[in-house]
Each structure stands twice: as structure tokens, then as C-alpha cells.
Chain A
Amino acid sequence: MECVFGLVGNDFAIVAADTSAVHSILVHKSNEDKIMILDSHKLIAASGESGDRVQFTEYIQKNVALYQFRNGIPLTTAAAANFTRGELATALRKNPYFVNILLAGYDKETGPSLFYIDYIATLHKVDKGAFGYGSYFSLAMMDRHYHSGMTVEEAIDLVDKCIMEIRSRLVVAPPNFVIKIVDKDGAREYAWRESVKDAAVPLA
């Protein structure tokens, strides 16, 4: 039900996630942002148990910030990914977090990178990755159309193709998606792909 996928382009990385918050058969909201901006040049797209997702990604975000405060320099994407894997692995045999993560980042020295971290702390650096039932469709689309060194326009086109495929072929397809990008200018929201609009909620 929860679809998260991402890919690496020529000097950027893109991740897309669905935005529905679901409990059993009820959709609580359809504009839940599941891609957290970890720091200036990193994105963490998470799917899984909603409580674990929010708590764990916030924990990682605060610890990454703490490292930067203590040491004066930010963590590299690979270091942040290994830290995340370490936290998941330590908790695995006691009190596991059921969160699957795609960590996208841009480093000045090494360029863009995408890390696949699943809920049992398997870490692997990938060019394209996906989680959830949507992965059966998005991975297939990416296997067909992905090539290394894609431009932003080509990558967005591929992301849209994947979203179309998920919408048309997944029985409980989420209606809305958010797309975020990270490149040398930083991590930022790129676009939303909405087919159902939630009523705007005034902030408390």
C-alpha cells in the first residue's frame, strides 16, 4: 500500500513517496509527507509502521544535526546511511523498527547517491530502489527506462511513468504522491502529484 521509490541521475537524486496515512481500511489523510529533509543535502524517504516511521526518522535527523554541531562538518551520505543501519541493527533483536528507508543525498566529492535500507537493517548503495507493493511496478518501469546520467526532465518523466503504473495497476493505489530532489543546491520539494485534494487544515 505504501509506495516509495527513488533513482539517481547525473548530478542529483530523486525520491517519490505516496502521501496517504492509512489505518486498516480508513484513510486518515492523503497529504502526509513521508520524505523528511535530513539536512541541507540529504533526504530520507521512509515507509512502514507510521509511529516507527516518524519517531525513527526524527531520531536520525536530530542525531545527524548533533554530529554537525559537535564536529563542525556535516556527515556524508554514506556515513548517515551507515549510522541509520547501525541504529536499526542494534534495535533489531530487541525492539525492531518496522521502517524501510531510501536515503538520498548529494556530496560535493562523490556526487549523488541513493541507499536502500530495509527494516532488518540491510544496507546497499543502489542506482534505483523501491519499497512496498508499488515496488513491483516502479522497479519494473525503472528497469526498462532507467539509464545512468539521466537529466532532471528524463528522471521526472520516469517518476511520472512509475506513478501512472502504480495508479492504474495497484488495487489499493494511493491517490497522491510527493516528489523531492537533492542536488548540489540542496534538498528540496520538487512537486506533488495529486488526484485527490484534502481540505486544508488550519495549523494549531
Chain B
Amino acid sequence: MVGKNCFAMASDRRLGVQLQTIATDFQRISKIHDRVFLGLSGLATDAQTLYQRLVFRHKLYQLREERDMKPETFANLVSALLYEKRFGPYFCQPVIAGLGDEDKPFICTMDSIGAKELAKDFVVAGTASESLYGACESMFKEDMEPEELFETVSQALLSSVDRDCLSGWGGHVYVVTPTEVKERILKGRMD
């Protein structure tokens, strides 16, 4: 979700195999660099493989260009990597968020074959995406400060995952401003 010169990314913490919960501390959001974050929902093995490939590509980019990737560029890279596997796809839906030039927040999501969906306000992915759309649409306000953005994102996440049996077991929220990254863990319904 986008705020005033900042953005927040939130995920749940469940790692499950259909009905069985394996772990309640799974990290779904990863840092690519200080100003770009990637959240990967879907099949855990493909999320881990895709994350490793993206970090590899970004490190190569850093060596060649001697700078970090812009979030728009990174989103294009993710889209290209996903479409490469058009007929044998990675079963993940990524959410990309970053601070671009002049600290302007950038967010986008894509489907599992790389169809980008840019938005000005919020993007969602995962099994609870329909609930998340509803919760975010009703709670979102323009130009929220980081603290208010954190509250909004947390409430939207917790209320949506409570309606989905495959999501939940707590929450991870990252609030990123030009100067700092705040990571917080949410206590939610553990069921």
C-alpha cells in the first residue's frame, strides 16, 4: 500500500501443505535492496527458487551498473523471468514495492506468468486476495503518514486473513520510508 513518500508491505506467516500447517514463521517478504521489497505468495518452493534467481540477477546488475535497480526496472525483470516459463510456470504471484526517483513510491503485482498490474494505491496477492481487495478499498486513504499507513495495512491484512482458512497465523509488516525500514510482527488469530 502507498503512503506519503513511503510504502508498506504486509504478509501472513503461515507455511502450509493444503490443510496441514507446517510452520508459523515463514518469511514471504524479502529485501532486494534498501528501497525495493519483494513479496512472493503461492507455492513456497517456486517462491524460494524465484527469489534466489532474482537476487542473482540483481547482484549482477549491481556489479555491471554500479547502482541499485529502480523498482520499475525490477518489476520488468520479474515479469520477464515469469514469462520465460510461460508453458511451465512458477506458481507464484509476486508483489513488488519500492521507492523510485525522488522517493516516489511504486507498487505493482503480477500473475504467475508475469502480467503486470500497476496501481497508485494498493496491490494484493494470494489466496485471500478477494478479501484483501475489499478491506484495502474501504480502509485506504490518500497520503497517509507511515504510522497511520502501518495501522491501515495491519487491519486490512488481519481482517482479510481471518476469512481465509489457508492464510494467517500472524503477520509481517514492513513500512519503508526514504530514511528507514521498520519491520513489525503482528499478533493475530492463530487458527
Binding site for B on A (CB under 8 A): 85, 89, 92-93, 116, 118, 120-124, 126, 129, 135-136, 139
Beta-carbon contact of B20 and A85 below 8 Å? no
Interface secondary structure of B, over-half rule: mixed
Which residue of the partner chain, among A92, A120, A121, A129, contacts B22 with CB atoms under 8 Å? A129
CB of A25 to closest CB in B, whole Å: 26
CB of B85 to closest CB in A, whole Å: 9
Beta-carbon contact of A93 and B88 below 8 Å? yes
- Nearest B residue to A143 via CB reads B21
Query: How far is it, in angstroms, between the C-alpha of A85 and the C-alpha of B15 when the chains are bound?
Result: 16
Query: How far is it, in angstroms, between the C-alpha of A139 and the C-alpha of B22 when the chains are bound?
Result: 9
CB of B97 to closest CB in A, whole Å: 24
CB of A198 to closest CB in B, whole Å: 32
Which residue of the partner chain, among B20, B43, B45, B48, contacts A135 with CB atoms under 8 Å? B20
Binding site for A on B (CB under 8 A): 15, 17, 20, 22-23, 26, 43-45, 48-49, 88
CB of A136 to closest CB in B, whole Å: 7
Supply 17 A–B pairs (Cβ within 8 Å), ascending by A: A85-B48, A89-B45, A116-B22, A118-B45, A121-B45, A121-B48, A121-B49, A122-B44, A122-B48, A123-B48, A124-B15, A124-B22, A124-B23, A124-B26, A126-B23, A135-B20, A136-B20
Beta-carbon contact of A120 and B20 below 8 Å? no
CB of A129 to closest CB in B, whole Å: 7
Query: How far is it, in angstroms, between the C-alpha of A91 and the C-alpha of B44 when the chains are bound?
Result: 16
